[in-house]
Amino acid sequence: MRYIFKKELQSFFFSPLIYVLSAIFLFIFAQTFINVITTTDSSINEFTYAYHILYQNMFYFIFLIPALTMKTFAEERRGGTEVLLLSSPISLFSVVVGKFLAVAVAFLFMTALSLIFPVIIASNGVIVWSGLICGYIGFIAWGLCLIAVGMLMSSFTENQVIAVVLGEACMLGLYLVDVFKENALISNITPLYNLLNAISAQERFFNFALGWFSLSDLVFYITFMCAALGFTIISIDQRRRCRG
Q: What is the mean pLDDT of residues 55-79?
A: 85
Can you give the pLDDT at residue 47? 58
Residue 98's pLDDT band, with cuts at 50, 70 and 90, is very high
Contact between 47 and 132 (Cβ < 8 Å): no
Q: Tally DSSP H helices, then E strands, for the chain.
A: 16, 2
Max CA-CA distance within the chain? 68
Percent of the chain with pLDDT over 90: 34
Can you give the pLDDT at residue 174? 84
- 117-to-18, 21, 37, 58, 114 alpha-carbon distances in Å: 20, 18, 11, 16, 6
What is the tens place of the pLDDT at every residue in 77-96? 776 666 666 677 778 898 89
Question: What residue spans define the domains of the chain?
Answer: 2-243
The pLDDT of residue 38 is above 60? yes
Can you give the pLDDT at residue 119? 87
The pLDDT of residue 44 is above 60? no
What is the tens place of the pLDDT at every residue in 140-175? 999 999 999 999 999 888 889 999 999 999 988 888
Beta bridge partners of 47: 127
Q: Which residues contact 2 (CB under 8 A, 6 or more apart)?
A: 98
Helix/strand/coil for 127: strand
Mean pLDDT, the chain, whole residue set? 84
What is the tens place of the pLDDT at every residue in 169-226? 998 888 888 777 767 677 677 777 777 777 777 778 878 877 788 888 899 999 999 9
The pLDDT of residue 45 is above 50? no
Residues shown for the chain:
244
Contact between 136 and 56 (Cβ < 8 Å): no
Other residues' Cβ atoms within 10 Å of the Cβ of residue 89: 5
Can you give the pLDDT at residue 243? 62
Q: Which one has a higher pLDDT value, 238 or 41?
A: 238
